[in-house]
């Protein structure tokens, strides 16, 4: 396909005083794809996201979002994106529906109440829409936050560690919401410290380490970087996460039967 990429990052550098955080980052994100920027705590993920969303200026290099240069065309970039951080923008005093309608009014979107109802439905929050956000679980709150970020139909959504601090069930709910975004054509750049999150969600994965992208590709391409796996005839053990979810799922079913 010859369509222009949604995000192009070319040799971006950034230091805080003596601390060189990004020392020449290059990457390209295709339109409508989910791209995971994987890196440990302090690797510089948030710094890069802040540069791409025009909140922070790079020291060197260039980057564009939807064809607009992040340093020279900030307003156009901001018009094309939304950013959801680790710390949600949800107002606890308002209901889910009120939070959405408020953002819609602030962004001058026509028919805010209708948009609110559509997004509640899309993120499986319709039943909870009339409840104050303070009563929501972590997963519901994060879903509401992502829903809020979609008002105005951004072409590119930045999700900075969307599941950090969530329990396993809530993570799965957020993953489903992220997959839904990409299915609807939105480009998603998410940062994560979790290998399984990148593995489950992303079309492409880039590993940010010591200021640079040290690996970049599809999961299959990244797997080829490793020596071929030896075939061993052992039963596959379930992961702790699978066990946790199976046990919790059974208990939820029991509770529903009992009530
Ligand atoms: N405003 C700042 N001033 C000084 N150092 C900062 C600032 N923001 C981040 N850092 C440092 O830069 C490094 C990268 O931070 P960050 O981009 O937040 O990483 P990540 O999001 O991958 O955890 C860390 O060492 C952090 O302490
Ligand atoms: Mg961060």
Please measure the distance between the N-terminal and C-terminal CA atoms of the chain and give it in whole angstroms: 54
- Ligand 1: residue of 44, 48, 58, 198 to mutate (most ligand atoms within 8 A of CB) is 44
3-class state of residue 64 by DSSP: strand
Name which residue sits closest to atom 23 of ligand 1, judged by CA: 42
pLDDT of residue 138: 86
From the CA of 232, how far away is ligand 2's center (Å)? Answer: 38
pLDDT surpasses 70 at 190: yes
Q: Which residue has the higher pLDDT, 252 or 100?
A: 100
Ligand 1 in reach of 38 Cβ (< 6 A): no
pLDDT of residue 153: 85
What is the DSSP pairing of strand 212-217 with strand 204-209? antiparallel
Which ligand is nearest the CA of 39, by number?
Answer: 1
Please count the other Cβ atoms lying within 10 Å of the Cβ belonging to residue 66: 19
pLDDT surpasses 90 at 74: yes
3-class state of residue 16 by DSSP: strand
CA distance 205 to 7: 14
Q: How confident is the model at residue 227 (pLDDT cuts 50, 70, 90)?
A: low
From the CA of 125, how far away is ligand 1's center (Å)? Answer: 34
Which ligand is nearest the CA of 21, by number?
Answer: 1
Instruction: Looking at the CA of residue 44, tell me the nearest atom of ligand 1.
Output: 17
Ligand 1 in reach of 44 Cβ (< 6 A): yes
What is the mean predicted confidence (pLDDT) over 96-101? 96
What are the residue ranges spanned by the domains of the chain? 5-76+136-258
Mean pLDDT of the chain: 88
Name which residue sits closest to atom 2 of ligand 1, judged by CA: 16
For ligand 2, a single-atom ion, the residues with CB < 5 A are 45-46
- Neighbour-count burial for 15-52, b at 16+ CB within 10 Å, e otherwise: eeeeeebbbebebebbbbbbbbbbbeeebbbbbbbbbb
For domain 5-76+136-258, give the fold. Answer: Rossmann fold (3.40.50)
Q: Is 230 exposed, middle or buried (0-12, 13-18, 19+ CB in 10 A)?
A: exposed
For residues 106 and 82, is the Cβ–Cβ distance under 8 A? no
Q: How many angstroms separate the Cα of 219 from the Cα of each of 122, 123, 191, 205, 224?
A: 28, 27, 16, 7, 9
pLDDT surpasses 90 at 28: yes
Percentage of residues in the chain having pLDDT higher than 70:
86
From the CA of 44, how far away is ligand 1's center (Å)? Answer: 6
Which of 88, 39, 83 has its CA nearest to residue 191?
39
From the CA of 43, how far away is ligand 1's center (Å)? Answer: 8
Element (H, E) at 158: strand 156-160
What is the mean predicted confidence (pLDDT) over 138-166? 90
Instruction: Looking at the CA of residue 50, tell me the nearest atom of ligand 1.
Output: 17
Q: How confident is the model at residue 1 (pLDDT cuts 50, 70, 90)?
A: very low
pLDDT of residue 82: 87
Q: How confident is the model at residue 152 (pLDDT cuts 50, 70, 90)?
A: confident
pLDDT surpasses 70 at 216: yes
């Amino acid at each position: 396909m010859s369509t222009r990429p949604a995000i192009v990052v070319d040799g971006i550098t950034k230091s805080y005083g003596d601390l060189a955080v990004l020392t020449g980052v290059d990457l390209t994100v295709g339109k409508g794809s989910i791209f995971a920027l994987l890196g440990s705590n302090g690797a510089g993920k948030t710094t890069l996201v802040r540069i791409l969303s025009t909140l922070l200026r790079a020291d060197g290099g260039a980057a564009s979002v939807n064809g607009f240069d992040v340093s020279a065309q900030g307003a156009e970039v901001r018009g094309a994106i939304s950013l959801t951080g680790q710390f949600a923008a949800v107002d606890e005093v308002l209901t889910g529906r009120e939070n959405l309608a408020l953002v819609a009014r602030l962004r001058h979107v026509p028919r805010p109440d209708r948009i609110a109802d559509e997004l509640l439905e899309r993120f499986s929050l319709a039943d909870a829409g009339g409840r104050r956000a303070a009563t929501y679980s972590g997963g519901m709150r994060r879903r509401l936050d992502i829903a809020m970020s979609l008002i105005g139909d951004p072409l590119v959504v930045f999700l900075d560690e969307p599941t950090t601090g969530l329990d396993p069930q809530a993570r799965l709910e957020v993953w489903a919401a992220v997959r839904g975004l990409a299915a609807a054509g939105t480009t998603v750049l998410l940062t994560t410290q979790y290998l399984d999150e990148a593995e489950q969600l992303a079309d492409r994965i880039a590993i940010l380490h010591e200021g640079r992208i040290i690996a970049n590709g599809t999961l299959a391409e990244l797997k080829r970087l490793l020596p071929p796996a030896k075939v061993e005839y052992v039963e596959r053990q379930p992961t702790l996460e699978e066990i946790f979810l199976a046990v919790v799922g059974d208990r939820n079913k029991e509770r529903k039967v009992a009530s």
